[in-house]
Structure 1
Amino acid sequence: MQADPVASADVARRRHRLTVDAIVAVMFFVVGTVAGTPASVVGFGVLVLFTAAVALRREAPPAALGLAWPAALLQMASGAGPGFVDIAVLAVLFATSAYGDRVTRLAGLASVAVGSLTAAGYLFLQAHRGAPITAATWASLATLLVGCVAVLGLAWTLGLLLRTWRTARDSRREGLRALEEHRQAQRAVVVEQERSRIARDMHDVVAHSLAVVIAQADGARYARATDAAAVDSALVTISATARAALADVRVLLAQLRQDDTVGPQPTLADLPPLAAQMRAAGLALSWSETGEPLPLGSGAQLAVYRIIQEALTNALRHGAPGGEVRVALGWTGADLAVSIENALDPGRDAAGGDVGHGLPGMRERAVLAGGTLNAEADGDRFRVRVAVPATPAAASARETA
Structure 2
Amino acid sequence: MHSVFTAQGLWDGHCILDHPLITVEEGRIVSIESSGSGPIGNGTDLGDALLGPSFFDVHIHGGAGHDVMEGSDEALSAIGRFLASHGTANYLATTVTAPLDKTLKSLEQIASRIAAGPRNGEAHPIGIHLEGPFLSHAKRGVHPLDLLLAPDIVLFDRMYEAAQGHVRLMTLAPELPGALELAAHAIAKGVRISIGHSDATAAQTNAAIAAGAASATHTFNAMRSLDHREPGILGIVLTCDDLFAELICDGIHNTPEMVKLWWRAKGPDRSILITDGMSAAGMPEGTYQLGGFDVQVANGRAMANGVLAGSVLTLDRALANFIHFTGATVDQGLRLLTANPAAMTGFGDRAGSLRVGDAANFVAVRPDGTLLASVVGGKVVS
TM-score by shorter chain over 0.5: no
Instruction: Give the helix-richer structure, 1 or 2.
Output: 1
Name the larger-Rg structure.
1
Higher relative contact order (CA 8 A, sep 6+): 2
* TM-score for both structures, normalised by structure 2: 0.21
Instruction: Give the strand-richer structure, 1 or 2.
Output: 2
